[in-house]
Amino acid sequence: MAKARGLVAVNVEECKGCRLCVEACPVDVLHLTNTFNTHGYSPAEYDGEGCTGCGICYYACPEPGAITVYKNWAEAQEAYICQTKKVPSRLTVIDSVKGLAQCEACGQEVILSNFSNLSFAE
Amino acid sequence: MSVKILGKSAAFYDTYERRPGSNQEQTHYCPGCGHGILHKLIAEALLDYGVAENSVFISPVGCSVFAYYYFNAGNIQAAHGRAPAVATGVKRALPESIVISYQGDGDLAAIGGNEILHAANRGEAMTVFFVNNAIYGMTGGQMAPTTLIGQKTTTTPYGRTLQNEGYPIRMAEIISNLESPVYVERVMMADTRSINAARKAVRKGIKNQIEKKGFSFIEVLSTCPTGWKMSAPQSQEWIKTTLSENFPLGVYKDVADQVEPLNLEQNLATPARVPKLLGLDQDNMSFDDSEMKLAANIDQEIKISGFGGQGVLSLGIWLSEIGMRENLEVSWIPSYGPEMRGGTANCHVKLSNRSIGSPLVTHPTILVAMNRPSLEKFEEDVVEGGAIIWDSTLIDVEPARKDIVNIPVPATQIAKEIGNTRISNVVLLGVLSGFSDFLDPMVVQRVLPLIFKKKHLLEINLKAFQKGLELGKEINN
């Protein structure tokens, strides 16, 4: 069994529910939901555990910003820079299915699928 | 430590503000469309090589017509099939930029088949991504040049047949047979492995351009779930089982390592360079209205007609050249047969103080007839009180009309006496100038040296003009 050290976050508003990521995931940890996003698609969702961070779903996905893969979550969570206070911080996952985490520095909720608005130390 | 995160590339806009409507977070592509994947691969490569800021993305007509909604780069949307031509212009004007021509199969292989062949043959230093999904996606699933035999589309409802529509066109093979391209590969986007291979091809294509290697062509077999009437996973399966069997994958040509980098010079059409290219920097001739003797109101519609080779069209051009320097509005259109010499030719010239609406002359105020068929054909069209100037050496009939000014000129005879029958049109120019009030002889004499650049030609032509001018003045008196 591959080591579950990654984290995948789906931006439900950008997802069109085409199912390509679900089919591509080698460890089968993505599924389509029965709910609808505001554009009328049933988006993909992470099972909540088991992501290896391989990135295959990212390349399978035709939508530029629908999937974000943290290849090594342990490293990423330590490298986080608080967006409010602009200081090095740390993330704690509060909902792995919805891709929500909490910033240690400001205490605010961080949407992990909103990748282009986040920053991490190099 | 560098954190490895795969997320939305910074080579894309954060929100797609150029996209009209409320949905500016998603692309306009259908769910499962291959364009999105290829966009991501290209964006990633541009960013990784540090050239995203320096790239110009040429989008075609087709589903990817709106690629400029997404790419945070230079964007141009070209006319149908003309992306390689536009890319050529951009690359030559900005040789340091990374120019990407992105086209679908309807755009590249059908209407743009000619453009791509010649851009490839010239070895333009660009990267072409050819998205082949065997169908016209945007317009509703019609047959494309790449549609497979037997494949049903809205325009081949019983399936494409060999007898009726011919074989699907294999562009990668065709392009690879040309001398100039340095890299031609066909890839597909059907599963993890093939997308990875496509990613490598995309990177190589862009790297080739960064290294100034020349023309790279990457054909990408891509899904069209909507056009194919399949789910997205089924579409990928169909690429693997059917499409890639008909369009074999692989590297068709790769000589990038063996060629020297191109020496690309900037070829920019600056405002300062245009007059120089046209020779206008030598031409500092301009006149004030007070210097010239012209009628107050000029509104002339002139038709000049004769055999091809008599200088019919040239005489028209000269009239408009002279008119321009008299600060008039001018127009000139030619009408001629396919022959360079022989046959009949005529041209329409307008000279006016007012803006010219149409360059067409249907009822001339002046007809210059240099052979008999021309006189017979256009005599009736001349307005009442108009003038007919005709070459009485070559035309053995008189105009029948009495309500016009009849001006016979033995132009060919005069030209022969001066030394060359080919200058009979200059004699007629002289007559026109002497007879009329809209061609100041002073201006004409100063424009002629611009037309006849060789000294010995200028001499004889000035002589012919002078002779005509005298004749014209006599008629006026």
pLDDT at res. B389: 96
With a cut of 90, say whether residue B287 has pLDDT above it. no
Chain B residue with minimal CA distance to A54? B6
Query: Do the Cβ atoms of B31 and A16 come closer than 8 Å?
Result: yes
Sheet with strand B366-369: strands edge to edge: B329-336, B344-352, B299-307, B366-369, B387-391, B405-409
Q: What is the pLDDT of residue B50?
A: 96
Of B80-89, B114-123, B267-276, B321-330, least confident by mean pLDDT is B267-276
Range of weakest confidence among A43-57, B78-92, B287-301, B403-417 = B287-301
Residue B291 has pLDDT above 90, yes or no: no
Please answer yes or no on whether A20 and B6 come within 8 Å at the CB atom.
no
Query: Number of CB pairs < 8 Å for A and B?
Result: 113
Nearest chain B CA: its distance from A28 CA (Å): 14
Best A12, A13, A18, A89 member to test B by mutation, with max B CBs in 10 Å, is: A18
Give the pLDDT of residue B61: 95
Contact A59 B37 (CB under 8 A): yes
* Residue numbers in A near B231 (CB within 8 A): 19
Residues of A with Cβ-Cβ distance to B220 under 8 angstroms = none
- Long-range residue pairs from A76-83, CB within 8 A, at least 24 positions apart, any chain: A76/A7, A76/A120, A76/B3, A76/B5, A77/A101, A79/A120, A79/A121, A79/B1, A79/B3, A80/A110, A80/A118, A80/A119, A80/A120, A80/A121, A81/A119, A81/A120, A81/A121, A82/A106, A83/A110, A83/A117, A83/A118, A83/A119
Contact A65 B8 (CB under 8 A): yes
Segment B415-438 shows an average pLDDT of 94
Chain A closest CA to B249's CA: distance in Å?
Answer: 19
Fold of the domain built from segment(s) A7-70: Alpha-Beta Plaits (3.30.70)
A69 to chain B: which residues are within 8 Å by CB?
5-7
Q: Provide the pLDDT confidence category of residue B283 given band limits of 50, 70 and 90.
A: low
What domains can be seen in chain B, in order of their start residue?
34-254 (3.40.50.970), 290-476 (3.40.920.10)
> Tokens 């201006």 map to which residue?
B443
pLDDT over 80 at B452, yes or no: yes
Nearest by CB: A62 against B23, B34, B192: B34
Nearest CA in chain A to B232: A18
Is the pLDDT at B284 greater than 70? The verdict is no
User: Is the pLDDT confidence value at B38 over 70?
Assistant: yes
Using an 8 Å Cβ cutoff, are B120 and B215 in contact? Answer: yes
pLDDT at position A1? 52
Q: Does pLDDT of B199 surpass 50? A: yes
Mean pLDDT on A77-83 = 93
pLDDT(B146) > 90: yes
Which of A10-19, B20-29, B152-161, B262-271 comes out lowest in average pLDDT? B262-271
Q: Do A69 and B25 touch (CB under 8 A)?
A: no
pLDDT at B279 over 90: no
Percent of chain B beyond pLDDT 90? 84
Position B250 pLDDT exceeds 80: yes
Q: Give the tens place of pLDDT for each residue, B203-220.
A: 999 999 999 999 999 999
Instruction: Show me where the domains of chain A are located.
Output: 7-70, 73-117
Q: Does the pLDDT value for residue B296 go beyond 90? A: no
Residue B51 has pLDDT above 80, yes or no: yes
Q: Which single residue is written with the structure tokens 């939901």?
A: A33
Work out the average pLDDT over B445-450.
Answer: 89
Q: Round to whole Å and give the CA distance between B433 and B107.
A: 53
pLDDT band at residue B308, thresholds of 50, 70 and 90? confident
Q: Which of A11, A13, A20, A70 to mutate to test the interface with B (most CBs of B within 10 A)?
A: A20
pLDDT band at B475 (very low <50, low <70, confident <90, very high): confident
pLDDT digits (tens, 9 = 90+) for A104-117: 999 999 999 999 88
What is the model's pLDDT at position B1?
46
Token couple for B179: 């001398």
Interface of A with B (CB under 8 A): 11, 13-14, 16-20, 23-24, 26, 39, 41, 53, 55-56, 58-65, 67-72, 75-76, 79, 115-117, 120-122
Q: What is the identity of the amino acid at A23?
A: E
Lookup result for tokens 């023309």: B215
Residue A4: which pLDDT band, with cuts at 50, 70 and 90? confident
